[in-house]
Structure 1
Amino acid sequence: MTTSVLSGSAKHHGLAAHEVVLLLETDAHRGLGVLEAGERLGRYGPNTLPPAKGAGLLRRILSQFHHPLIYVLNAAGVITAVLGEYVDSAVIFGVVLINAVIGFIQESKAEAALEGLRSMARTQATVIRDGHRRIVASEDLVPGDLVLLDAGDKVPADMRLIRLAELRINESALTGESVPVGKDEVVLAEPVPVADRHNMAYSDTLVTTGSGAGIVIATGAETELGQIHRLVGSAQILDTPLTQKLAGFSKILTVAILALAAVTFAVGLLRGHDAVETFTAAIALAVGAIPEGLPAAVTITLAIGVTRMARRRAVIRRLPAVETLGSTTVICSDKTGTLTENQMTVRNLWTTAGLYEVTGSGYVPHGALHSPAGEMTTVDADHALRWTLLAGAACNDAALTHRDGHWDIVGDPTEGAMVVVANKAGFASDQVKSMLAREATIPFSSDRQYMATLHRDATSGTSHGQVVLAKGGVERMLELCGAQMDADGTVGGLDRDVVLEAAGELARRGLRVLATAMRPATGAEDFAEDRLPGGMVLIGLQAMLDPPRAAATTAVAACRTAGIKVKMITGDHAATATAIAGQVGLLDPTETGKDRVLTGADLAALPAEELPDAVDRAAVFARVSPEQKLRLVEALQARGHVVAMTGDGVNDAPALRQAGIGVAMGASGTEVAKDAADMVLTDDDFATIEAAVEEGRGVFDNLTKFITWTLPTNIGEGLVILAAILFGAALPILPTQILWINMTTAVALGLMLAFEPKETGIMTRPPRDPDQPLLTRALMARILLVSALLVAGSWWLFQWELDNGASVAEARTAAVNVFVVVEAFYLFSCRSLTRSAWRIGMFTNRWLIAGVTVQAVGQLAITYLPAMNALFGTAPIDGGTWLRILGIALAASLVVAVDKRLRRPA
């Protein structure tokens, strides 16, 4: 069992570094001894998260039989075997087994699709043990280890930093903060939230710049990552709307079937029929009324949805997740990496000439500069613009890379943005290095709040051959500057108010603003830090943000058109979150009010009874903790919403697990987020959510169509048996014939509805009401109507055949074919529950034509093949009987068409 060695209420960030060293019984320079590290590894366990508990093979197999309708079928199979009806019993058990095999195979495929995403990536760590530098597997780290960090390293465990040099860590996966956090060794007050613990480094975060050393204070399950993992494990996995409705529907149907079978048996005994024959008839009624193909149809329809989603760059881990998206009423989206590119981009440049716009997004160095007048421009027209671009690119430690057609940044994303904008303006990185070869550096620090570099100037811009460049926070840079450069290159007085006003306006847009400055230098001695204040020349401002994804605005608008609320939940600052929300359309500019944007502090101050209403109203939640994300999802669920939660960070995992469907990012997402999610987007694009919702709605439609199609047959079969008992007549259809009808039509006919294309306008209608029953009153009325038509048609033809000299076997064969042919005609009507089959096109679903053809061949086989006649008690019928069957089917279709027309929404 992994653990932290610190007990009580004290926190490591609230202790001095030497106190942490003493508490963990280690050495700040030599680290732990090798033997001591081994002993602690045995005591605390490996630095890994506990594996997720999954259902075993036997449990997964048995779960396929865990269904009320399957229970009834199994009981019917046992009873028919006891009564000596071995053929009937074998057919019943065969149906049950086929259903189980189909369900198991499809669920196994869905689980295997994410097998490569389940385990956390193995990393290595650099440690000091016995005074020697060693490389060890991160899973072998123990509390007390002295770990060294460098740029590009993934932090392998929770650590109290004891030494550092310009260390900055990207903690977006843990906190949602999009900008790397500068670290220091200052002792902090205990109540400080994780995002503000600057003397700590946390597991699974990434070092962007600088270096440092820290003492491991927690490993495995006791890290911040591990605590979130526990939250994920404790979150309740909710049944989906479909599984909830099907479970309720199946229970009601099971009770109704058993009650009807009991009534049939009782009526038969009261009429003096033989008890065994009556019991057999009651079993036939139960078998007939059970939609045996429903479990398989649900599984296969969802599996087809999984396949379609995979083509649209989404991997489904749980089959019902496809349908859940179709019922979603709220999407809670993370900001960084989900709605945004997670790539800082310079959007504006400011000089005394005015505000320039920069086009292009992310790290791709393609874009253009537009002058304050809105015209495309170059750097030649503004000397200050030229120098602010050069200063941003040269006074910089980031590098732009291009591999396999993909542009990326090595180093700090903010510095990377400045390199990219310089490239857009024509200053390639190699060119900048040749123009301004660096000779010395004053690195950035949280105390200094700027970075300065000395360069050999190969341009004609200075007369001394050397130049000092600097960049940093606006107010700090103003302290260093005593003048500013104009567009023509002349240097004049510094107007602090104008600069601050321009920076403030950019900041209000949610942009991060940095100032750039320069001055000629006479030599290295002129580069001392104490020589800079007052002597620098302000040249311009660069304003950047993590831009929205290109398709995010369209996707958000489509979701809102579909009646789905989209809410942003992020650990970033409120101003940044508000700016992005406005750009993607989450905030309506005509609506105002503080309740539209809430921070974590606002949520903490809300009474529990007011939280659901406040969460329902708000569109943006900023600076929230992982626990609060979980509370937000729970609050929305308390309001009756079906919640989809998207995210990519460790901090998103608990909410992903609690939500009706968790959607993780596949490329940039952490393994913890993927493991907690129901669906993983391989392209990390929020726009894929819109496609997923559309696909989910189509799946729910097709399942509803299948149920609307299959139930009339089951009800009709049961009522035919009941009518025979009531009238003391021979059974028009036998149990084995009923099973033939139910299973062959479910596979050859009903399942073809799973391939039905999505209907037009599917994304313009509101989400399904979570409280709405699986079948509406109108659909139930249609089901009962078709059931009545099947009972009347089959009973009439059965009696007609008997009255006209046909044998009982021939009459039953005619009745069986009535059920199948009417079902085939009705299938075309069920392709749309509101529109005419002619209006949607007869050949837009070629699978359906193929299924009808296969079913027709099967009906000819059961009617005319001697072996099938012997097995199912059928007999050949003549052409006149077929004409009567087709007449009944045509009449039933006309009645259904009239009913659909009368019930069509206005």
Structure 2
Amino acid sequence: MGATEDLVSTPPPASVGAAHGLPVADVVVLLGADRERGLSEAEAGGRLARLGANVLPRLDRRGPWLRFLLQFHHPLIYVLLAAAVATLALGDVVDAGVILAVVLANAVIGFVQESRAEQALDALMDMVRTETTVVRDGVRRRVPSAELVPGDVVVLDAGDRVPADLRLVEVHELHVDESALTGESDPVVKEAVALPVETALADRANMAYSSSLVGRGAGRGVVVATGADTEIGRIHRLVGEAETLETPLTRTITRFSQLLTVVILLLAALTFGLGLLRGQPAAEMLTAAVALAVGAIPEGLPAVVTITLAIGVARMARRRAVIRRLPAVETLGSTSVICTDKTGTLTANAMTVTTLLVGGRTVEVTGTGYAAAGELRRDGAVVQLGGEPALRECLVAGVLCNDARLTDTGGRRAVVGDPTEAALVVVGEKAGLDPHRLRSELPRVAAIPFDADRRWMATLHRAPDGRVVAYVKGAVERLLAMAATELRADGSTAPVDAAAVHSRADELAGQALRVLAIGTLELPPGTTELTEEALHGRLVLLGLQAMQDPPRPAALTAVAACQRAGIEVKMITGDHAGTARAIARRFGLGEGGDPVVVTGAELADHPAADLPTLVARTAVFARVSPEQKLRLVECLQRQGHVVAMTGDGVNDAPALRRADIGVAMGAGGTEVAKEAADMVLTDDDFASIEAAVEEGRGVFDNLRKFITFMLPTSFGQGLVVLTAVVAATTLPILPVQVLWVNLTTAVALGLVLAFEPLEDGVMRRPPVPATRPLLTGVVVGRIVLVSALMLVGAFGLFRWALAAGEPVEVARTVAVNVFIAVQVAYLLNCRSLERPMWRIGMWRNRWVLAGVGAMLGLQLLFTYAPWMNELFDTAPVAPVWWVWATAIGVAVHLLVEAEKWLRHRGAGRARVVGPGA
């Protein structure tokens, strides 16, 4: 009887932990499996019913209605809802409807954005929905991967996606690409032997994990975990559990809204109480309190913030950065640390031959990736193969001793096979060789495939003239042991200088280059078989080809720009420490360009109390797990940093979701990473992050400009109402008129500030601290100044109009026009909070003139249109009142510009004299 039937009374476990540390026989017994015949259909069906399908479970989520209602859970929204209730209580249905429409629009936008972000979990679930080859009842058959159960025997071939976590029991030159799961850039050569239990995930050569891809070879494995118990299932849980933080913008506006709420309620209560103490009717005082509250509430803030962020999204899209959550636009401007992946972000994620050593002479290769664009150069001059017989033979050998193929897909070249072998084909193309023609002229007759123990590969080819030649590639030390001679640059041979070759290979390896030796041997005509014995001691060494996953040229410049802008750049990768250190040096990471590198194993052993110090001084973290990436992001956030995290693999998804801004690669990244991120780069280039940070800083500047522009109107109107109550006089402005001023100035005037271009030097200043208040002391002082000037101008002109015998409706219209005139003039001040208007230039933002024109047109309707007079209790005014309103606006503008000039002059003197003066 089979193992399955013997153990039927003891159900096998749902998964086998640390299966990599057990012999195959023990794993098979624990799972009640049979490595030759597999499970029976009956047993597989029973296990499927008991253990469940091989899919990732849906984690508990808040329902759509709850998520929608939570969009209203914000102090500013509470203030707006209170304003709507107050205006409705006064019988003003139209104004209440306008406020509610603004609140509803913001809630809908937030709900849609949050729903898109949660699709990360669905993308993870899709990754195991494939078909796979399984052995059951001794027969191979194709079944949906969802039907796999622990104990199943799965057959793997090149191109397959691994459907579950497998303990390999049989391998034949099996290479698996695990980059999406571990961050390891090179395909992993698999073997079936047991490994120490403490072996890190990326080094478990006897395991094949769900979602990884078979690049070459074949193998068999016993399913040891399915669904939520797999490594990708563990990451699925991390993504679901990772807390999505508020952005600096939402945190700042929350604090600002809480403070504003308290101030508004206190002023409204003060107004109502003072009126009652003075013996005024309660109904009138309630109207006054409501007018003050409505005046102080910035009704247009949510709408304009949303529109400003949307404009930032459009700008970033033009710079190849697609924003998935609106607040992420501003978060970029506050970013203080960028935790970047190496493979595919800083580097091209495409193995590229950069150096050739042939006949004792070095050739440099230009170009990156799998495109054939590039040249071979020696001492700055282009090398032609016509006069380089040894170089040509070395390149031909690399193309023919090769199982990789390159395909064109949508304008991008993709690799079928090993990326290392693809690099050998591409460098041949750069030199002018045609791989298809070479394979046709020198067809393969036999081959010795690559083996992890042998560490070399050989192919046998028949030439058109009848010659039979073998080409060999592999580890330098192995080929040197097989070689008797080496080819000189002129095509002659000489005894191999093993010490010199070793020295040069070590030098190249020290630069984080992967070095392959290339050899050849001519065999007797008619030879059709290739053996190891025929090669040993007779090989002719052709040269060395050194390759790497090269840095993206634009990323080098972008990292330097971020560092100049005060942004720390840290590399967090699943790759080897040596490779990560070499790339980090190229990018100038770490103190003095000599980065401190900490591995995942060292991180795990480090005391938790000392972790903040370690993270602060470390520029590179290598061989880290998904949990450790998440831990590093959280540690940086606890230190007060605003963290951007980049990544492209499944293993990056939890950290992408936890970071203040998650940045995924759009072209080469997994769907999981894209769905977990806040921003997706369409070109996978770190340079686009730098561009997005620049735009984010511009968005933050424009939001501050808008809030600085908007608040004087709110406070000024509130002060006018409060002054009228204290003076026991008629209200100069009614609640309905307050709403008109707030909404029209916010949309027609304030919105144009969202289109302000980037100011000079935006990337030469440090990031805005996450704890910095939205309004600095200087800005608060300016708001108070303008609010006071509005109070004096509007209240003074209102009283003057009444004293001149004008009806109260005319006097109130004059007061409203003062607010509008001051806001038009103050808009020009707010185009820059530091620089004078004449240095900005009127024509840099053409929307300013359009906004001013629209505002004046609306105000003319407000003043002279009969139906507007009826709706807003206004009346036509004489031209003289327009002159006075305009004069007040001009005076405010000149005073603010003078304040800017004096402050700038004082700051300049302080810099010249120095702090010790």
TM-score, scaled to structure 2 = 0.94
Q: Using the TM superposition, give the Cα deviation of residue 81 of structure 1 relative to its aligned residue in structure 2, in angstroms.
A: 4.4
Give the corresponding residue for 1:495: 497
Using a 3 Å threshold, how does the CA distance of structure 1 residues 66 and 641 change in structure 2: closer, same or farther? same
Trace 1:582-601 onto structure 2 (pairs within 5 A): 582-586=585-589, 590-592=592-594, 596-601=596-601
* Alignment counterpart, residue 452 of structure 1, candidates 445, 458, 461: 458
Deviation by residue 1:445-481 (Cα, 9 ceiling, x = unmatched): 111111011111337xxxx811121111111112222
Q: Is the Cα contact below 8 Å between 1:180 and 1:208 reproduced in 2?
A: yes
Q: Tell whether 2:683 aligns with 1:683.
A: yes
Q: Using the TM superposition, give the Cα deviation of residue 268 of structure 1 relative to its aligned residue in structure 2, in angstroms.
A: 1.2
Give the whole-Å Cα distance in 1 for the aligned partners of 2:350 and 2:87.
Answer: 67
Give the whole-Å Cα distance in 1 for the aligned partners of 2:743 and 2:50.
Answer: 58
Give the whole-Å Cα distance in 2 for the aligned partners of 1:335 and 1:98.
Answer: 43
Give the whole-Å Cα distance in 2 for the aligned partners of 1:834 and 1:563.
Answer: 21
Structure 1 residues without counterparts, runs of 5 or longer: none
The sequence identity of aligned pairs, in percent, is 57
Give the whole-Å Cα distance in 2 for the aligned partners of 1:802 and 1:839.
Answer: 41
Tell me which amino acid in the other structure corresponds to 1:95.
I
* Alignment counterpart, residue 573 of structure 2, candidates 565, 570, 574: 570
Deviation by residue 1:825-883 (Cα, 9 ceiling, x = unmatched): 11121111111223222232222322222222221122122222222111111111111
Give the corresponding residue for 1:762: 762
Structure 2 residues without counterparts, runs of 5 or longer: 1-10, 909-917
Using a 3 Å threshold, how does the CA distance of structure 1 residues 110 and 69 change in structure 2: closer, same or farther? closer
Q: Is the Cα contact below 8 Å between 2:84 and 2:100 reproduced in 1?
A: no
* Alignment counterpart, residue 339 of structure 1, candidates 343, 346, 349: 346
Trace 1:286-325 onto structure 2 (pairs within 5 A): 286-325=293-332
Q: Using the TM superposition, give the Cα deviation of residue 548 of structure 1 relative to its aligned residue in structure 2, in angstroms.
A: 1.3
Q: Is the Cα contact below 8 Å between 2:121 and 2:240 reproduced in 1?
A: no
Q: Is the Cα contact below 8 Å between 2:76 and 2:254 reproduced in 1?
A: no
Give the corresponding residue for 1:541: 544
Q: Is the Cα contact below 8 Å between 1:60 and 1:104 reproduced in 2?
A: no
Give the whole-Å Cα distance in 2 for the aligned partners of 1:691 and 1:5.
Answer: 54
Give the corresponding residue for 1:123: 130
Give the corresponding residue for 2:367: 360
Trace 1:228-377 onto structure 2 (pairs within 5 A): 228-371=235-378, 373-377=379-383
Give the whole-Å Cα distance in 1 for the aligned partners of 2:51 and 2:61.
Answer: 24
Give the corresponding residue for 2:98: 94
**Segment of structure 1 superposing worse, 421-430 or 836-845:** 836-845
Using a 3 Å threshold, how does the CA distance of structure 1 residues 69 and 198 change in structure 2: closer, same or farther? closer
Q: Is the Cα contact below 8 Å between 1:562 and 1:764 reproduced in 2?
A: yes
Give the corresponding residue for 1:46: 53
* Alignment counterpart, residue 481 of structure 2, candidates 459, 479, 482: 479
Give the whole-Å Cα distance in 2 for the aligned partners of 1:476 and 1:651.
Answer: 35
Give the whole-Å Cα distance in 2 for the aligned partners of 1:682 and 1:13.
Answer: 38
Q: Is the Cα contact below 8 Å between 2:119 and 2:675 reproduced in 1?
A: no
Give the corresponding residue for 1:851: 851
Trace 1:15-54 onto structure 2 (pairs within 5 A): 15-51=22-58
Tell me which amino acid in the other structure corresponds to 1:101.
A
Tell me which amino acid in the other structure corresponds to 1:368.
E
TM-score, scaled to structure 1 = 0.95
* Alignment counterpart, residue 555 of structure 1, candidates 555, 558, 563: 558
Q: Using the TM superposition, give the Cα deviation of residue 117 of structure 1 relative to its aligned residue in structure 2, in angstroms.
A: 10
Q: For residue 207 of structure 1, give the secondary structure of its aligned residue in structure 2.
A: strand
Q: Using the TM superposition, give the Cα deviation of residue 9 of structure 1 relative to its aligned residue in structure 2, in angstroms.
A: 8.3
Deviation by residue 1:192-239 (Cα, 9 ceiling, x = unmatched): 111111110011111111111112211222111111121222222111
Q: Is the Cα contact below 8 Å between 2:102 and 2:302 reproduced in 1?
A: no
Q: Tell whether 2:434 aligns with 1:428.
A: yes
Deviation by residue 1:497-516 (Cα, 9 ceiling, x = unmatched): 11110100000000001111
Give the whole-Å Cα distance in 2 for the aligned partners of 1:672 and 1:235.
Answer: 14
* Alignment counterpart, residue 224 of structure 1, candidates 226, 231, 234: 231
* Alignment counterpart, residue 466 of structure 1, candidates 465, 468, 492: 468
Deviation by residue 1:510-537 (Cα, 9 ceiling, x = unmatched): 0001111111112547722233222212
Q: For residue 749 of structure 1, give the secondary structure of its aligned residue in structure 2.
A: helix
Q: Using the TM superposition, give the Cα deviation of residue 757 of structure 1 relative to its aligned residue in structure 2, in angstroms.
A: 1.6
Deviation by residue 1:777-812 (Cα, 9 ceiling, x = unmatched): 000000000000110000010001000000111100
Deviation by residue 1:228-260 (Cα, 9 ceiling, x = unmatched): 121222222111111111101100110111111
Q: Is the Cα contact below 8 Å between 1:77 and 1:90 reproduced in 2?
A: no
Give the whole-Å Cα distance in 2 for the aligned partners of 1:112 and 1:39.
Answer: 37
Give the whole-Å Cα distance in 2 for the aligned partners of 1:93 and 1:258.
Answer: 22
Give the whole-Å Cα distance in 2 for the aligned partners of 1:433 and 1:29.
Answer: 38
Q: For residue 149 of structure 2, give the secondary structure of its aligned residue in structure 1.
A: coil
Give the whole-Å Cα distance in 1 for the aligned partners of 2:482 and 2:239.
Answer: 49
Q: Using the TM superposition, give the Cα deviation of residue 110 of structure 1 relative to its aligned residue in structure 2, in angstroms.
A: 8.3
Q: Using the TM superposition, give the Cα deviation of residue 106 of structure 1 relative to its aligned residue in structure 2, in angstroms.
A: 6.7
Q: Using the TM superposition, give the Cα deviation of residue 387 of structure 1 relative to its aligned residue in structure 2, in angstroms.
A: 2.1
Tell me which amino acid in the other structure corresponds to 1:497.
A
**Segment of structure 1 superposing worse, 529-538 or 762-771:** 529-538
Give the whole-Å Cα distance in 1 for the aligned partners of 2:47 and 2:370.
Answer: 44
Q: Using the TM superposition, give the Cα deviation of residue 625 of structure 1 relative to its aligned residue in structure 2, in angstroms.
A: 1.8
Give the corresponding residue for 2:744: 744
Q: Is the Cα contact below 8 Å between 2:15 and 2:225 reproduced in 1?
A: no
Q: Is the Cα contact below 8 Å between 1:73 and 1:92 reproduced in 2?
A: no
Give the corresponding residue for 2:66: 59
Q: Using the TM superposition, give the Cα deviation of residue 429 of structure 1 relative to its aligned residue in structure 2, in angstroms.
A: 0.7
Q: For residue 432 of structure 2, give the secondary structure of its aligned residue in structure 1.
A: coil
Deviation by residue 1:530-575 (Cα, 9 ceiling, x = unmatched): 3322221222111000111231111112211211111111111122
Q: Is the Cα contact below 8 Å between 2:346 and 2:686 reproduced in 1?
A: yes
* Alignment counterpart, residue 403 of structure 2, candidates 368, 373, 397: 397
Tell me which amino acid in the other structure corresponds to 2:349.
N
Give the whole-Å Cα distance in 2 for the aligned partners of 1:111 and 1:8.
Answer: 33
Give the whole-Å Cα distance in 1 for the aligned partners of 2:111 and 2:854.
Answer: 27
Using a 3 Å threshold, how does the CA distance of structure 1 residues 399 and 692 change in structure 2: closer, same or farther? same
Q: Using the TM superposition, give the Cα deviation of residue 79 of structure 1 relative to its aligned residue in structure 2, in angstroms.
A: 4.5
Deviation by residue 1:566-613 (Cα, 9 ceiling, x = unmatched): 11111111221122222233357x544xx6222223323432232222
Q: Is the Cα contact below 8 Å between 2:158 and 2:216 reproduced in 1?
A: yes
Q: Is the Cα contact below 8 Å between 2:87 and 2:95 reproduced in 1?
A: no
Give the whole-Å Cα distance in 2 for the aligned partners of 1:12 and 1:110.
Answer: 39
Q: Using the TM superposition, give the Cα deviation of residue 707 of structure 1 relative to its aligned residue in structure 2, in angstroms.
A: 0.5
Q: For residue 843 of structure 1, give the secondary structure of its aligned residue in structure 2.
A: helix
Using a 3 Å threshold, how does the CA distance of structure 1 residues 708 and 55 change in structure 2: closer, same or farther? farther
Give the corresponding residue for 1:207: 214
Q: For residue 876 of structure 2, give the secondary structure of its aligned residue in structure 1.
A: coil
**Segment of structure 1 superposing worse, 538-547 or 380-389:** 380-389
Give the CA RMSD over aligned residues: 2.2
Q: Using the TM superposition, give the Cα deviation of residue 170 of structure 1 relative to its aligned residue in structure 2, in angstroms.
A: 1.0
Give the corresponding residue for 2:606: 606
Q: Is the Cα contact below 8 Å between 1:10 and 1:190 reproduced in 2?
A: no
Give the corresponding residue for 1:634: 634
* Alignment counterpart, residue 520 of structure 2, candidates 492, 503, 518: 518
Q: Using the TM superposition, give the Cα deviation of residue 177 of structure 1 relative to its aligned residue in structure 2, in angstroms.
A: 0.9
Using a 3 Å threshold, how does the CA distance of structure 1 residues 408 and 6 change in structure 2: closer, same or farther? same
Give the whole-Å Cα distance in 2 for the aligned partners of 1:81 and 1:392.
Answer: 80
Give the whole-Å Cα distance in 2 for the aligned partners of 1:378 and 1:709.
Answer: 66
Give the corresponding residue for 2:531: 528
Q: Using the TM superposition, give the Cα deviation of residue 5 of structure 1 relative to its aligned residue in structure 2, in angstroms.
A: 5.8
Using a 3 Å threshold, how does the CA distance of structure 1 residues 332 and 23 change in structure 2: closer, same or farther? same
Tell me which amino acid in the other structure corresponds to 2:171.
L
Give the corresponding residue for 1:809: 809
Give the corresponding residue for 1:153: 160
Q: Is the Cα contact below 8 Å between 1:316 and 1:678 reproduced in 2?
A: yes
Tell me which amino acid in the other structure corresponds to 2:274.
V
Give the whole-Å Cα distance in 1 for the aligned partners of 2:615 and 2:109.
Answer: 41
